[in-house]
Amino acid sequence: MKGDHRVGPRILPIAIPVPHAADRVLAYLIADEPLTLIDTGPNTDAAYAAVRDGLARAGVGIDALERIVVTHAHIAHCGLAGRLHADSGARVAGHPLALGALEDFGAAWSERLDLIERAAAVGNVPDAVRTAHRAMASPMARLVADVPRDAMDPLVDGASLRLAASGTLSVVHIPGHSADHIGLHHPSSGTSITGDLVLRGSPTVPSLEPRTPDGARPATFDDLVASWRRIGRLPMRAVLPGHGTPIRAHRILLARRLAEARSALGATRDAVRSGAATLWDVAEATGLPMEPERLASTLGQVVARLDALVRRGVLARRADDGQLRFVAIARR
């Protein structure tokens, strides 16, 4: 079970099925002491079996788990945490912003759906799309098993997780995909587990986020760009993502993602200058998905980009008869 701090811990990927998704989410077993699982998959019997079988390949059972770390409180990454804790007694750790959702996911999910519904209502999303999305999304709260508050530990940026034989994992707060997103970096081996921050097959989608406690609009686009740049500065040889294969040339991929983000921002600006005014108009004009099952993703992207352009003084936001509209600010 023990590793070598010069080469890093033994990290075993576990591919976990996700309902209604083509790909699988990846959990990572850190085969050191304490025995640590990074992310869990959703709360389904198929996911539980995948985790059980993954641990068995390492020669241990679920009851041997001592620590579970959640990179962010999204269903595919945290859903089994409560069930695995109940079966093992393992402590569950995540960013402080994730702990409320882990304790009562039903309430957090209801708040998230209400946020999506409000954005859709002011964003001119067709009623049929809104209704279909709510019908599909509402039952998904059951895919997360709650974690008792006294079983959880907060992980702030810069915290260290001890490994008996292979040094420490450093916690890196990397918001953008979600405000509670963290990564785990093993400095001496140059390995990082980064959840959904950077994926080989597709760009990372910023989630739709509520206003900050001081009432400000969340800067999700800028947070995502800053997190990509931060990861790019880490001394890394391998990125272990939440989906897909390990990423070796991560700086090349990150440069591509940054270029794509700049291009998307420019396309959003041009769409508004050409007359697209509402969230739905801009989403359609910039080629974002229009299917009900993709509504949360589409709103997360278009709101993040429009907010970024408003902060840059390129666009202005207007309220007009219950609709949110955007207009270009004349260039001088």
- pLDDT tens digits, one per residue of 6-65: 456 899 999 999 998 778 999 999 999 999 999 999 999 999 999 999 999 999 999 999
Looking at the domain assignment, is residue 88 inside a domain?
yes
Q: Is residue 3 part of a domain?
A: no
* pLDDT for residue 321: 87
Residue 1 placed within a domain: no
pTM score above 0.85: yes
In a domain, 5, yes or no: no
Q: Does residue 22 belong to any structural domain of this protein?
A: yes
Residue 102 lies in a domain: yes
Average pLDDT on 296-316 reads 97
Which domain range does residue 181 map to?
11-328
Of residues 244 and 7, more confidence is placed in 244
- Report the C-alpha gap between 250 and 231 in whole angstroms: 9
Count of the separate structural domains present in the chain: 1
CATH label of the domain that carries residue 270: 3.60.15.10
CA distance 180 to 72: 6
Using a 10 angstrom Cβ sphere, with 0-12 exposed, 13-18 middle and 19 or more buried, the burial of residue 193 is buried
Q: In this model, does residue 95 exceed pLDDT 80?
A: yes
Q: Compute the average pLDDT of residues 151-177.
A: 96
| pLDDT computed for residue 323 by the predictor | 92
Closest CA to 303 of 241, 217, 231: 217
On whether residue 49 sits in a domain, the answer given is: yes
Cα(325)–Cα(117) distance, rounded to whole angstroms? Answer: 17
* Residue 195 resides in a domain: yes
Residue 205 has pLDDT above 80, yes or no: yes
